[in-house]
Amino acid sequence: MMFPSRAPAPLYYTPGEGWSYEPVGGEGAWKQTRAKDQLDVAQAAFDKKAYGLALKAARRVVRVWPLSDYAAQAQYLVARCYEADGNDERAFKEYQKTLEKHPKIPNYGEILQPEYAIAERYLHGKWFRLWGHVPFFPSMDRTADMYAKIVKAGPYSDVGAQSQLNIGTAREKQSNYPLAVKAYETAADRYNDRPKIGSEALYREAHAYQKQAQTAEYDQTTAGQAISTFTEFMARYPDDTRTSEAQKVIGALRSEQARGNFQTAKFYEKYRRWKGALVYYNEVLLQDPGSTYAAEARRRIDVLNQRVQVAKK
């Protein structure tokens, strides 16, 4: 103990690269003096599923030769290493960094695919991690942000169009129907020359309005917006198999409008504002004349008309 011999330490820390393990006798053997050779080391390690070695070799290319012709592919390989290791959130950030720093990379469109796959996993419930390690909670805000980044990077790509739709899906999962409507509306407008996407966006927009209307007690304007959007859907895509379903929903929404106006009329009647109540009871008759709300509205109209006449005397 008084005269210790030199003990080999397989753990090394490199600024900008972090801690790494290197077997005794192989210290620094992975490091190369040229960017291309260093990238070859990284790719070979990745192919052997030695993701730790592949990651530090690829990161060294990015750090030491950031302006070389190999930096873009090295950055892309960094992202692939994180994804292969199961760190999706970090992988997405590294894919984004690749697209933002190297917009002319030959496989630009290809990189959007794994980004989309990662966002899909979070859309379907994968948990984000606290401090990058501790599973914490699903987040539709962060998921929607991922999709927004994909749309920004490739708005007219196939995954870009689907990502815009999925922003709406994420918002619906939050029950944030106004933001869902906005996302679908953007998709319907931007991709109106793509019938498959355009029709899907418009149909989902109408349904989001419908869901929002079902949460409202006195403000039934969203029911009217849903009816208008479903009507536009049927006009623009008359051959769509969902038109009959849209017609049924419109009928249900008219009943919902009638219910909302009936509730508003009762509110006015409660505070003895007869004329205001009569306006909304009459709206019930216009919107859904065959409903149970309409039958009750007719009865209340007769009663209120008598009260108004008495008040005039």
Residue 275 has pLDDT above 80, yes or no: yes
Structure confidence at residue 42 (pLDDT): 97
The structure's pTM equals 0.79
Q: How far apart are the first and last CA of the chain?
A: 114
> Pick from 65, 75, 76, 79: which is nearest to 36 by CA?
65
- Given a cut of 60, whether residue 19 has pLDDT beyond it is no
Each residue's pLDDT tens digit, 66-82: 999 999 999 999 999 99
More reliable by pLDDT, 130 or 110: 110
Contact predicate 217/263, CB 8 Å? yes
The residue-averaged pLDDT of 157-184 equals 96
The distance of Cα 89 from the centroid of its chain, to the nearest Å, equals 15
| The predicted structure's pLDDT at residue 27 | 47
Which of 27-36, 65-74, 294-303 shows the lowest mean pLDDT across its residues? 27-36
Phi/psi class of residue 24: alpha, beta or left (left: φ > 0; alpha: ψ in -120 to 50)? beta
